[in-house]
Amino acid sequence: MMKKHVLALAIAAIVLVACGKKEEPVATPAETTPVAAAPAAPAGPVLDDEKVLNIYNWPDYITETMIADFEKEFGIKVNYDTFETNEALHAKLVAGNSGYDIVIPTAGFGKKQIDGGLYQEIDRSKISNYGNLDPEFMEKIAGVDPDNKHFVPWAWGFTTVGINKQKVEAALGGMPMPENAWDLVFNPEYSSKLRSCGIIYLDSPSEILPLALHYVGKPPYSENPEDFKEAGAMLAKVRKDVRLFSSTMIDDIAGGKGCAFVGWSGDINIAADRVKEMGGKDEIVPLLPTGGGLVFIDTMAIPKDAKHPNNAHAFIDFYLRAENGAAMANEMNYPTGNKASLPLINDEVKDNKTIFLSDEDTERLIPTGGFSNEIGSTLNDTYNAFKRGR
């Protein structure tokens, strides 16, 4: 398929040739008119002089070829780094001069970055594929980014419990699975049994705490230090059963490092596929806890001091092509909010109820949110005390 800017160049070339002809005596108006009347060639994207783009994203969150495809088509060199928590990204942005042109905050967490003036506004006139986005989805993001001025969706999913079915059943030794899957990792009656086969937690205060708060019946984004005490007390009881803290769980799960995981939905699905491909006998299953998973909507944003804002817009536009949104769902098991991509998503992915959720499961999800700066130290102290085990 002829790529867009190549097409634009080709059309420009035809126009030039035609214009040249015009001055030749042999050219007749009949020959030149159709070219002159043709719709204006779509202008190629405006790029920055320096053909570089610096992206900062989460691990395991892009298809294998997307960066290379972009580089080839646009002649831009992409430097791609990863971070493992919103906290890490936040620290980079607050320090300033991060050097990044596109970063991928979780919308709820990123609200304070918008409020702090850390992002520039997105120029929609540079994003021809903006219309591919699902307006209903954009409405949700507008809750933290009014009028969708700064955030363009990357992908979404939820933090949930995943299990190695056979290993968990064996470790529970006849004890039935709990009704609420969060009991497996938050209730010592279960976690103490799973200790032997290994519990893995994400290493992220801003994800573990909302889940823990919700589990003990408090608002997931509570601002009350007393609530954190309760969540911390609950976590303290299961600490000895947690074997590993990790944000690169695909490898850990596929490598058999544990049997129950607090992880990201798509990653657990990828690990499940990988174990199947490797011919493993155990099934890796992402669960839909009755207690709800924690939604994350991750979004692209351009830092205020980005050095290559035009290249950033070109990448955002490229990412919003229907086929790229579909590839994220098909290869990475994460939906992207790109409505135009839906017809291109494989049935197997579309029918996976842990990727495209039923209405009932959607309703149970803990909606995206964020903590204020004020509660930040309570959050970190609670998390660190948990991790240290005291």
Q: What is the smallest separation between the CB atom of 212 and ligand N2P, expressed in angstroms?
A: 17
Contacts 24+ apart (CB under 8 A), 373-376: 373/112, 374/223, 375/222, 375/223, 375/225, 375/228
Quick one: which of 267, 275, 284, 319 contacts ligand N2P (CB under 6 A)? 267
SS3 366: strand
Quick one: which of 182, 201, 264, 371 contacts ligand N2P (CB under 6 A)? 264
Q: What is the smallest separation between the CB atom of 143 and ligand N2P, expressed in angstroms?
A: 17
Residue 145 vs 267, nearer CB to ligand N2P: 267
376 contacts ligand N2P (rule: CB under 6 A): no
Residue 210 vs 309, nearer CB to ligand N2P: 210
318 contacts ligand N2P (rule: CB under 6 A): no
Residue 213 vs 332, nearer CB to ligand N2P: 332
Q: What is the smallest separation between the CB atom of 318 and ligand N2P, expressed in angstroms?
A: 20
Q: What is the smallest separation between the CB atom of 389 and ligand N2P, expressed in angstroms?
A: 25
State how far the alpha carbon of 260 is from the alpha carbons of 157, 230, 288, 333, in Å. Answer: 18, 23, 14, 20
Q: Binding pattern to ligand N2P, positions 285-304, x when CB under 6 A? A: -----------x-x------
**Residues sharing a CB contact under 8 Å with residue 224, sequence separation 6 or more, in sequence order:** 218
106 contacts ligand N2P (rule: CB under 6 A): yes
Contacts 24+ apart (CB under 8 A), 85-89: 85/203, 85/204, 85/205, 85/206, 85/247, 86/110, 86/204, 86/206, 87/204, 87/205, 87/206, 89/56
Q: What is the smallest separation between the CB atom of 266 and ligand N2P, expressed in angstroms?
A: 6
Residue 76 vs 366, nearer CB to ligand N2P: 366
Q: Under a CB-based contact definition with an 8 Å cutoff, are residues 37 and 84 in contact? A: no
158 contacts ligand N2P (rule: CB under 6 A): no
Binding to ligand N2P, residues 58-87 (CB under 6 A): 58-61
Q: Under a CB-based contact definition with an 8 Å cutoff, are residues 302 and 122 in contact? A: yes
Stretch that binds ligand N2P, among 262-270, 352-360, 366-374, 375-383 (CB under 6 A): 262-270
Stretch that binds ligand N2P, among 8-16, 69-77, 130-138, 263-271 (CB under 6 A): 263-271
On the CB side of 271, CA atoms within 13 Å amount to 28
Q: How far apart are CA 22 and CA 149, in angstroms?
A: 46
3-state helix, strand, coil in the chain (%, to 5): 50, 15, 35
Residue 87 vs 267, nearer CB to ligand N2P: 267
56 contacts ligand N2P (rule: CB under 6 A): no
Residue 266 vs 335, nearer CB to ligand N2P: 266
Count of helix runs (H) and strand runs (E) in the chain: 18, 9
State how far the alpha carbon of 42 is from the alpha carbons of 2, 6, 47, 128, 173, in Å. Answer: 14, 11, 15, 10, 65
317 contacts ligand N2P (rule: CB under 6 A): no
Q: How many residues bind ligand N2P (CB under 6 A)?
A: 10
Q: What is the smallest separation between the CB atom of 377 and ligand N2P, expressed in angstroms?
A: 23
Q: How far apart are CA 383 and CA 232, in angstroms?
A: 7
Binding site for ligand N2P (CB under 6 A): 58-61, 106, 264, 266-267, 296, 298
